[in-house]
Chains A and B, each alone.
Chain A
């Protein structure tokens, strides 16, 4: 694959899967500046991964893998340097499009999870199967099941507790 084909592929993927990329960046970065920074990093890694992509996995699964890996690494690196206001003092996120407050609330709750659970929550909410999630993250299916059960319970409890007041 030459450079031109690689650029074309990236262009197609960005058009088709921009929603996915923005969901990941919004879940892992608090401010719009951080989101832009993370988006650049994710797109760079996605572009680099194109030559290794085979049609054995769906495009969206592949892009999710790359995006989540990049986001998890980015979160850990950035939080160590104290450059992000993630988790502790989150600023209101500049949403890519107008969303209702319930969606903002959900993103806030997802951002409170640790990076691995955040990845699991995103994949689960976007309808990936246990098998796909286990392949994406390299975990056993039973491990995925246990973790997702815990995350569902946690999010439901938060919705129960805070949902009535905030939403």
Chain B
């Protein structure tokens, strides 16, 4: 018995006759593709949109009514952060095209995608929380005394709770999902490199 016998067993299998439900598969494909791209786009758009909205809020009084000009600073910080998030998204999409189409190339592409996600999540505080915290800090200085209690009782606690919970969830997501997935791909990559 030799490998030729194995080859002849393999070659003897009949071609399957129409077991694939093409219409059903195509529909699944379209649905799943929409779901995947929707999550990524929604995350980026939500972050950018929130930053643009907050920037507009900061800039409204100084630009339209001409007072509290110091609020221009946090407004511009939010605009820069929003631009940076969008540029990050475009760079990621460009980089994804550059990988070759071998198995190793596909693995590298997936690792890069995971790295990008982990870095984006870790940088969340800089991109998202810092501009908001900056604006909140300035608001504490210039706020009308009659409304100061609102900052202490509503805005500051809400900000701290939201950012704290989001940061906890981000760390959990990285620890439980992204990092293990990246380690699996890296070990697969290493095994391909080492020829094990």
| Interface residue? A156 (CB, 8 A) | yes
Evaluate contact between B32 and A72: CB separation under 8 angstroms.
no
| Interface residue? A11 (CB, 8 A) | yes
Evaluate contact between A80 and B180: CB separation under 8 angstroms.
yes
Partner of A146, one of B15, B181, B195: B195
**Cβ contacts under 8 Å, B103 to chain A:** 65, 68-69, 72, 119, 136-138
| Interface residue? A93 (CB, 8 A) | no
Q: In the complex, which range does the number of interface residues on chain B fall in?
A: 35 or more
A71 CB to closest chain B CB, in angstroms?
A: 11
Interface string of A6-23 (1 = CB under 8 A from B): 010011001100110110
A112 CB to closest chain B CB, in angstroms?
A: 14
Interface string of A91-119 (1 = CB under 8 A from B): 00000111110110110000000011001
**Cβ contacts under 8 Å, A143 to chain B:** 195
Interface string of B82-120 (1 = CB under 8 A from A): 000000000000000100111111110010000000000
A80 to B102 CA separation, bound complex (whole angstroms): 24
Interface string of B1-35 (1 = CB under 8 A from A): 11101110110111111011010011011101100
Using A102-B9, A156-B1 as known contacts, say yes or no to A96 and B32 having CB atoms under 8 A apart: no
Using A22-B19, A146-B195 as known contacts, say yes or no to A102 and B110 having CB atoms under 8 A apart: no
Partner of A73, one of B14, B19, B110: B110
Using A96-B19, A155-B3 as known contacts, say yes or no to A138 and B10 having CB atoms under 8 A apart: no
Evaluate contact between B19 and A102: CB separation under 8 angstroms.
no
Partner of A137, one of B6, B184, B192: B192
| Interface residue? A76 (CB, 8 A) | yes
Evaluate contact between A138 and B19: CB separation under 8 angstroms.
no
Using A19-B15, A65-B101 as known contacts, say yes or no to A44 and B32 having CB atoms under 8 A apart: yes
Evaluate contact between A44 and B29: CB separation under 8 angstroms.
yes
A contacts with B: majority SS? helix
Size of chain A's interface in residues, with CB distance under 8 A?
55
A135 to B103 CA separation, bound complex (whole angstroms): 8
**Cβ contacts under 8 Å, B32 to chain A:** 40, 44
B contacts with A: majority SS? helix
**Cβ contacts under 8 Å, A19 to chain B:** 15-16
| Interface residue? A55 (CB, 8 A) | no
Within 8 A of A (CB), among B21-72: 22, 25-26, 28-30, 32-33
B7 CB to closest chain A CB, in angstroms?
A: 7
A87 to B192 CA separation, bound complex (whole angstroms): 21
**Cβ contacts under 8 Å, A73 to chain B:** 110, 185
**Cβ contacts under 8 Å, A160 to chain B:** 1
Partner of A103, one of B5, B13, B184, B191: B13
| Interface residue? B161 (CB, 8 A) | no
Q: Using a CB–CB distance below 8 Å, which chain A residues touch chain B? A: 7, 10-11, 14-15, 18-19, 21-22, 39-40, 43-44, 47-49, 52, 57, 62, 65, 68-69, 72-73, 76-77, 80, 96-100, 102-103, 105-106, 115-116, 119, 125-126, 135-139, 143, 146-147, 152, 155-156, 159-160, 163
* Complex A-B: 11 CB contacts under 8 Å: A14-B22, A22-B19, A22-B20, A65-B102, A72-B188, A96-B16, A97-B19, A125-B6, A137-B192, A139-B192, A163-B5
